[in-house]
């Protein structure tokens, strides 16, 4: 009980993304400093992680250069959720309930998104997650709104020969989400939902980003206070090499 209470006070980062992206591998690397062997997750798992000494945090900016007192690096709770389609309710319920939610880490396999099916799977999941955040923001406007939650898309497995660079992962996801948004709204129209005045508001509520825009860009989410960055890296190294996760640590450090 005590441990639960202690963990509750820590800022929480939610880790999500399609199955096999490398989420559990990242959790073990962040928590233990080494990426252990993993298996397909059935249950959410969490670990308390601490920023490495080399990573600067937002607080460091306000520290005097002459200040040599040592300060403990901040800790946070990393919550890893299963990527399998049938188990995603774990992620979505945390999204809507976690009070200390500081950010979202959406991980994709940068090699898998080069295939049509891999791209669709990642884009659909990301679309749904962003739509939840958007709704959270829209509904929060009336009451005391929930804090804005920034999103980092981790373009993982950059060590793999067939992986796409993070800039391409970004544009591919944007394109695919744009298509998805179009088909979904068309589906609603065809089924008659959204035809009458009452439901037309709903149609807008189901539309991600700038309403009616032809193309989708992550930047459109800023209107809903949602900042999205895409950064490449790899949890596992090539052969004996260690993983490359520095950019991700920096992003986390900025937000803590
Ligand atoms: P679910 O538990 O099903 O949601 O999947 P997951 O996202 O947790 O994936 P997991 O961490 O189990 O990793 C899937 C596989 O990818 C494992 O075999 C990992 O060793 C491998 N993997 C993870 N990160 C990397 C990476 O950066 N490079 C390479 N080459 N392999 C990786």
Q: What pLDDT does 197 receive? A: 45
| Domain assignment present for 196 | no
Q: Kindly indicate whether the ipTM for this predicted assembly is greater than 0.90, answering yes or no.
A: yes
pLDDT, tens digit, 9 for 90 and up, residues 129-186: 999 899 888 876 655 556 789 999 999 999 999 999 999 999 999 999 999 998 887 7
Q: What average pLDDT does range 82-104 have in this prediction? A: 81
Q: How confident is the model at residue 204 (pLDDT cuts 50, 70, 90)?
A: confident
| Domain assignment present for 214 | no
| Domain assignment present for 198 | no
Protein residue whose Cα sits closest to atom 28 of ligand 1: 157
Ligand 1 pocket test, pick from 17, 37, 38 with the greatest ligand atom count within 8 Å of Cβ, gives: 38
- DSSP-derived 3-state class of residue 144: coil
For the packed helices 197-205 and 166-190, what is the interaxial angle rounded to 10 degrees?
170
Q: What pLDDT does 38 receive? A: 72
* C-alpha 84 to ligand 1 mean position (Å): 13
| Domain assignment present for 87 | yes
| Domain assignment present for 39 | yes
* C-alpha 23 to ligand 1 mean position (Å): 6
Please report, for the domain that includes residue 152, its CATH number.
Answer: 3.40.50.300
Say if CB 102 and CB 58 are below 8 A apart.
Answer: no
Higher-scoring residue by pLDDT: 169, 192: 169
First to last CA, the chain: 25
Q: What pLDDT does 67 receive? A: 64
Does the pLDDT value for residue 194 go beyond 50?
no
Does the pLDDT value for residue 193 go beyond 60?
no
| Domain assignment present for 13 | yes
| Domain assignment present for 7 | yes
| Domains held by the chain: number | 1
| Domain assignment present for 9 | yes
Pocket of ligand 1 (CB under 6 A): 19-25, 38, 40-41, 82-84, 156-157, 159-160, 234-236, 243
What is the extent of the structural domain holding 149?
2-57+72-164+222-255
CA atoms within 13 A on the CB side of 197: 0
């Amino acid at each position: 009980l005590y441990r639960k209470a202690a963990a509750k006070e820590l800022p929480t980062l939610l880790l999500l993304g399609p199955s096999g992206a490398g989420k559990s591998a990242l959790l073990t690397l962040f928590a233990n400093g080494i990426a252990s062997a993993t298996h397909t997750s059935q249950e959410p798992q969490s670990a308390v992680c601490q920023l490495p000494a080399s990573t600067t945090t937002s607080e460091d900016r306000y520290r005097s250069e002459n200040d040599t007192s040592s300060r403990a690096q901040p800790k946070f709770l990393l919550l890893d959720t299963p990527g399998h389609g049938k188990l995603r309710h774990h992620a979505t319920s945390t999204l809507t309930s976690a009070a200390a939610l500081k950010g979202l880490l959406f991980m994709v396999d940068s090699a898998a998104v080069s295939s049509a099916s891999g791209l669709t799977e990642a884009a659909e999941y990301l679309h749904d997650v962003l739509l939840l955040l958007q709704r959270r923001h829209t509904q929060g406007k009336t009451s005391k709104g929930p804090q804005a939650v920034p999103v980092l898309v981790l373009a993982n497995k950059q060590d793999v020969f067939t992986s796409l660079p993070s800039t391409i992962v970004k544009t591919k996801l944007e394109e695919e989400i744009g298509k998805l948004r179009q088909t979904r709204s068309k589906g609603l129209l065809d089924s008659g939902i959204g035809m009458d005045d009452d439901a037309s508001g709903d149609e807008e509520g189901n539309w991600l980003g700038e309403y009616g825009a032809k193309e989708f860009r992550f930047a459109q989410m800023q209107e809903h206070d949602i900042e999205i960055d895409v950064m490449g890296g790899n949890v596992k190294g090539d052969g004996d090499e260690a993983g490359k996760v520095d950019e991700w640590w920096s992003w986390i450090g900025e937000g803590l």
